[in-house]
Structure 1
Amino acid sequence: MKSRRKTVNPIGLNDITIVDDVKMRKAITAAALGNAMEWFDFGVYGFVAYALGKVFFPDVDPSVQMIAALATFSVPFLIRPLGGLFFGALGDKYGRQKVLAATIVIMSLSTFAIGLIPSYASIGIWAPILLLLAKMAQGFSVGGEYTGASIFVAEYAPDRKRGFLGSWLDFGSIAGFVLGAGVVVGISAVIGEEKFLDWGWRVPFFLALPLGMIGLYLRHALEETPAFQQHVEKLEQGDREGLAGGPKVSFKEVATKHWRSLLTCIGIVAVTNVTYYMLLTYMPSYLSHNLHYSESHGVLIIIAIMVGMLFAQPLIGFASDKFGRKPFILFGSIGLFFLAIPAFMLINSGQIGWIFAGLLMLAVVLNFFIGVMASTLPAMFPTHIRYSALASAFNVSVLIAGLTPTAVAWLVESTDDLYMPAYYLMVFAVVGFITAITMKETANKPLRGAAPAASDIAEARELLVEHHDNIEQKIEDIDSEIAALQAKRELLVQQHPRIN
């Protein structure tokens, strides 16, 4: 039986995607706004956790109230992997744009619904049950939100600017968090704590509906990504891999063939989100409940830290296009390990300046991670399974990271050790370090399974030359391996009496 040799045409200038600047800016804006919507809720929830504890869990002591409210925050992360599997399969089958339009609708409606739930005093046990159901609906939609948005931006971005453009996705995350925290502080300052506990805490959740409508409008007007369009065109030309009946590669096959990418994704997301939730969700409660620091002052410090992070975020993304993604994850992990205890020594000092410095140390480390995550993760998987594989790996690790506020609050209460958060961060810093030294660099390279992408024709010519140079280098490496194997063969032949 004769085997057919597959013919592959040489890649020419016409095969390189020239990215439309207008479409690219619209894609980034729509993706970042949806992500801001997600983190607006996280910001609001983190900063009103003390109020929600009193409203929905009034019959327990303050420590248990806080842990219960944070547990309600963490439980939806159990649902996120299901949402990731569901929306990931749809994203690989029908396209990224349609799925992102659906996730923002579910997310905005479920967030809005939290503001409508009556208190425990009004409907008893049904109040925390309804809160949990609304949070689970959020978790299901968010399971496909960040991964879809990061893929959308990555597949639109030119290869040489993917780090900078991807960083704006998490710029939206931080901006949403700042907006959520700012709204909570503003409402509380205007109406006072008593009215805020009575009804004011509901207002930030009501704002999710108009924000979601704006995000839906922007996403509905978007075109599908160039990489996915190329994938569809290949299928129409007879390439059987990928689309017709959904992803053709099962998760078992993904785990077998792409296990290195899966582990790398899980490691990066775990260390990033543990640091994220520690700093931006748990720390407001830690400052007020454990350190007995003024709630308003603690919130203002966190907001100031996040505003600084906004300015640093695009700079990290830009630098990663010059120096690579790997150095930032490596140095971020090292910094997290060695700075965690000093940071909490400053935070526990009781002096506002030192508290700010300690939080700033953690924020700088966090910027190293989130500045490159959105550009790193989508580059690990080929187009036809990118959404499914990334959503699965991302949400498995977020499931672990999402337990951070609850787990750390419980550890501190159980041990009376205010440095438990630092030890917790150090454990995940080791995970980040191992991930960084084993991962492959993805900066300035085409996405797997996609054609090179350039900003203009001049850059396309440069990419073509680099692509051909890379092929030549690979051929030379293969020739060297063949020569080494041939020499090894000759040595073995000489040791055998009957083989010439």
Structure 2
Amino acid sequence: MAEREMEKKRFFKGRRKKFRLKKEDITVVDMDSARRAVLATSVGNAMEWFDFGIYSYLAVTIGKVFFPEMKEGVQLIYAFATFAVAFLARPLGGFVFGMLGDRWGRKRVLATTLILMAVSTLSIGLIPGYESIGSTATVLLLLARLVQGFSTGGEYAGAMTFIAESTPDKKRGVMSSGLEVGTLIGYIAGAGFVTLLTLALGSDTMVRWGWRIPFLVAGPMGLIGYYLRERLEETPAFEAMEEARDRESYLSVRDILASYWRTLLIGMVMVFFYNVVNYTVLSYMPSHLSAVLGYGETRGLLLIVVVMAIMIPIVLLMGYFSDRVGSKRVVQGGLAGLVLLSIPSFLLIGSGKAWWVLLGLVLLGVFSASFQGTMPSLLPSLFYTEVRYGALAITYNISASVFGGTTPLVVSWLINWTGDRLIPAYYLVAVSVIGLMVVTKFVKDPSGKSLRGSPPAVEKKREIKEVLQNPEEALWWQEEKEQRERERE
């Protein structure tokens, strides 16, 4: 045991001086533990995004409950403005939970964020409407949304980090894509539940009290998710780093911003296009179909549920491809597809013919799936182990707050202002062009390789020999880190 700890210290502290990679440096992943980590994290993520997503699927109803004195189009804008408010708290949650995740460990923080989300979502279902307490209802809704945003700030970055650090290098893509399967299942459950309630109760009853039911479900779901996450083991990468480093070596937020600002900016652009596409397809489209195109709330939600169900196997397939051909190539393909086909997709969606509408939505869903299958493994690879949770939380939540969460609000406002129903398509094209340029020029493909700052991780012992034959390839990030250390001094 003492010898093993000395090897870890040698690995993590051997920055300037070149050293031979040894057998003891390589992590052999317990695949049963890795699968449990993927399952528990994905299930927890599904619950988290069920809680967060039901608000967007009830946006039209919430507009009527909390903003009844306004016109219908303006109600939707205000409902999405309240949706966007949660993203103001996400960077703060990212700072707090991200730094705690690099100190306390990934597991403890992920359990905490899940409970916080469940409590805040439950509270929304208990708030009286505008007709009962006037503007106080709006204030309470805003407060609950802020707490939701604070919780989400630590959730997604932590979940990506946890899975990426718990899986073998050659299967990181496909196993990490399970996280986004959880996200889609959460969204499907939320949209499906809202759709069934609307069909069973009718629009008038939904406005009176039925809208509360999905929010009240959050309480028991949160307890189940907390139980699953508490039973997880900490990630091998974090445990190895903890044994090797001194407590004084923790980096502050200022240190991260000073040392990793280039990587932070690259990551923010990646999160920018990732979130704009996701929130357009998964959060904004139901309201676009019902409020802008007049399809009716139930019909719009059913279409989105079908599209998300189709996306699930595609997400896993994209994760599989990322391990074979590289996550960077898959992302580039998705961005190029959006540049070429966003406008045709929205023309199909606006046709009013059910099959053409579905085809347009599926096209957007496929391109969105190309990011969902790759980003959970690609984004954590941008940062070194000692700052991964904190730096990723900062990157993800600042960008998601500024660009992702505001997407439904900005698009709704622009359509209301210009009257042009193709505004979402133009937005996606512009975002994809920017993303394609940044990914092509600045992003290195880490597929099948160790995470920055971590020893190689393999599935089976027989793979160790192959890794040892090409140590420079295994530690591809070593020279980059040495350069970073020289710059810091």
- Whether TM exceeds 0.5 here: the answer is yes
Residues 1:294 and 2:274 are matched in the alignment: no
Match of 2:434 among 413, 431, 455: 431
Q: Distance in 2 between matches of 1:40 and 1:83?
A: 19
Residues 1:185 and 2:195 are matched in the alignment: yes
Q: Deviations over 1:9-66 (max 9, x none)?
A: 5221222111112211221112112211222123311211111011111111101111
Residues 1:458 and 2:462 are matched in the alignment: yes
Name the aligned partner's letter for residue 411 of structure 2: V
Equivalent position of 2:86 in the other structure: 76
> 2:41 touches 2:179 (CA, 8 Å); kept in 1?
yes
Name the aligned partner's letter for residue 123 of structure 2: A
> 1:115 touches 1:202 (CA, 8 Å); kept in 2?
yes
Equivalent position of 2:267 in the other structure: 265
Equivalent position of 2:9 in the other structure: none
Residues 1:135 and 2:145 are matched in the alignment: yes
Q: Distance in 1 between matches of 2:465 and 2:15?
A: 29
Match of 1:35 among 38, 41, 45: 45
Once the two structures are TM-superposed, the CA of residue 6 in structure 1 deviates from its matched residue by 6.5
Q: Deviations over 1:177-201 (max 9, x none)?
A: 0000010011111222222221111
Question: What does residue range 394-413 of structure 1 map to in structure 2 within 5 Å?
Answer: 394-399=396-401, 400-413=403-416
Structure 2: any 5+ residue segments left out of the alignment? 1-13, 480-489
Q: Which stretch of the first structure deviates more once superposed, 99-108 or 190-199?
A: 190-199
Name the aligned partner's letter for residue 230 of structure 2: H
Q: Distance in 1 between matches of 2:222 and 2:107?
A: 15
Name the aligned partner's letter for residue 106 of structure 1: L
Seen in structure 2, the aligned counterparts of structure 1 residues 163 and 458 have a Cα distance that, compared at 3 Å, is same
Q: Which stretch of the first structure deviates more once superposed, 202-211 or 175-184?
A: 202-211
Q: How many residues align?
A: 464
> 2:52 touches 2:121 (CA, 8 Å); kept in 1?
no
**Secondary structure, counterpart of 2:84 in structure 1:** helix
Name the aligned partner's letter for residue 359 of structure 1: L
Q: Deviations over 1:58-117 (max 9, x none)?
A: 111101111111111111101100000001110111111111111001011101111111
Equivalent position of 2:446 in the other structure: 442
Residues 1:103 and 2:104 are matched in the alignment: no
Equivalent position of 2:156 in the other structure: 146
Residues 1:224 and 2:228 are matched in the alignment: no
Equivalent position of 1:493 in the other structure: none
Q: Deviations over 1:468-494 (max 9, x none)?
A: 56679999xxxxxxxxxxxxxxxxxxx
Question: What does residue range 212-291 of structure 1 map to in structure 2 within 5 Å?
Answer: 212-235=222-245, 240=246, 244=247, 247-248=250-251, 250-291=252-293
Q: Distance in 2 between matches of 1:5 and 1:103?
A: 34
Which of the pair has more CA radius of gyration?
A: 1
Q: Distance in 2 between matches of 1:358 and 1:188?
A: 25
**Secondary structure, counterpart of 1:100 in structure 2:** helix
**Secondary structure, counterpart of 1:79 in structure 2:** helix
Once the two structures are TM-superposed, the CA of residue 157 in structure 1 deviates from its matched residue by 0.6
Q: Distance in 1 between matches of 2:119 and 2:190?
A: 16
Q: Which stretch of the first structure deviates more once superposed, 363-372 or 34-43?
A: 34-43
Q: Distance in 1 between matches of 2:477 and 2:242?
A: 31
Q: Deviations over 1:187-231 (max 9, x none)?
A: 111222222221111111111111111110011111111001011
Q: Distance in 2 between matches of 1:7 and 1:446?
A: 19
Residues 1:201 and 2:204 are matched in the alignment: no
> 1:92 touches 1:384 (CA, 8 Å); kept in 2?
yes
Match of 2:62 among 52, 62, 80: 52
Seen in structure 2, the aligned counterparts of structure 1 residues 174 and 6 have a Cα distance that, compared at 3 Å, is closer
Once the two structures are TM-superposed, the CA of residue 128 in structure 1 deviates from its matched residue by 1.0
Once the two structures are TM-superposed, the CA of residue 332 in structure 1 deviates from its matched residue by 1.1
Once the two structures are TM-superposed, the CA of residue 246 in structure 1 deviates from its matched residue by 7.4
> 1:19 touches 1:454 (CA, 8 Å); kept in 2?
yes
Equivalent position of 2:97 in the other structure: 87
Match of 2:392 among 390, 393, 400: 390
Match of 1:162 among 172, 176, 182: 172
Residues 1:15 and 2:25 are matched in the alignment: yes
> 1:93 touches 1:245 (CA, 8 Å); kept in 2?
no
Once the two structures are TM-superposed, the CA of residue 467 in structure 1 deviates from its matched residue by 2.5
Name the aligned partner's letter for residue 264 of structure 2: L
Equivalent position of 2:220 in the other structure: 210
Seen in structure 2, the aligned counterparts of structure 1 residues 211 and 301 have a Cα distance that, compared at 3 Å, is same
Q: Deviations over 1:343-364 (max 9, x none)?
A: 1111111111111111111111
Equivalent position of 1:478 in the other structure: none
Q: Distance in 1 between matches of 2:237 and 2:244?
A: 11
Once the two structures are TM-superposed, the CA of residue 143 in structure 1 deviates from its matched residue by 0.3
Name the aligned partner's letter for residue 452 of structure 1: P
Equivalent position of 1:366 in the other structure: 368
Name the aligned partner's letter for residue 414 of structure 1: W
Q: Which stretch of the first structure deviates more once superposed, 385-394 or 290-299?
A: 290-299
Seen in structure 2, the aligned counterparts of structure 1 residues 422 and 226 have a Cα distance that, compared at 3 Å, is same
> 1:309 touches 1:367 (CA, 8 Å); kept in 2?
yes
Seen in structure 2, the aligned counterparts of structure 1 residues 469 and 341 have a Cα distance that, compared at 3 Å, is closer
Match of 1:125 among 118, 132, 135: 135
> 2:115 touches 2:226 (CA, 8 Å); kept in 1?
yes
Q: Distance in 1 between matches of 2:318 and 2:392?
A: 22
Q: Distance in 2 between matches of 1:307 and 1:472?
A: 38
**Secondary structure, counterpart of 2:144 in structure 1:** helix
Equivalent position of 2:323 in the other structure: 321
Q: Runs of at least 4 residues of structure 1 off by over 4 A?
A: 4-9, 468-475
Name the aligned partner's letter for residue 411 of structure 1: L
Seen in structure 2, the aligned counterparts of structure 1 residues 442 and 194 have a Cα distance that, compared at 3 Å, is same
Q: Distance in 2 between matches of 1:372 and 1:339?
A: 20
Q: Distance in 2 between matches of 1:291 and 1:25?
A: 43
> 2:52 touches 2:148 (CA, 8 Å); kept in 1?
no
Name the aligned partner's letter for residue 424 of structure 2: P
**Secondary structure, counterpart of 2:451 in structure 1:** coil
Structure 1: any 5+ residue segments left out of the alignment? 476-500
Name the aligned partner's letter for residue 362 of structure 2: L
Equivalent position of 1:26 in the other structure: 36
Seen in structure 2, the aligned counterparts of structure 1 residues 442 and 205 have a Cα distance that, compared at 3 Å, is same
Residues 1:113 and 2:116 are matched in the alignment: no
**Secondary structure, counterpart of 2:430 in structure 1:** helix
**Secondary structure, counterpart of 2:379 in structure 1:** helix
Q: Deviations over 1:125-183 (max 9, x none)?
A: 11111111111000001001000000000000100000001000011000100000010
Q: Distance in 2 between matches of 1:120 and 1:245?
A: 52
> 2:117 touches 2:151 (CA, 8 Å); kept in 1?
yes
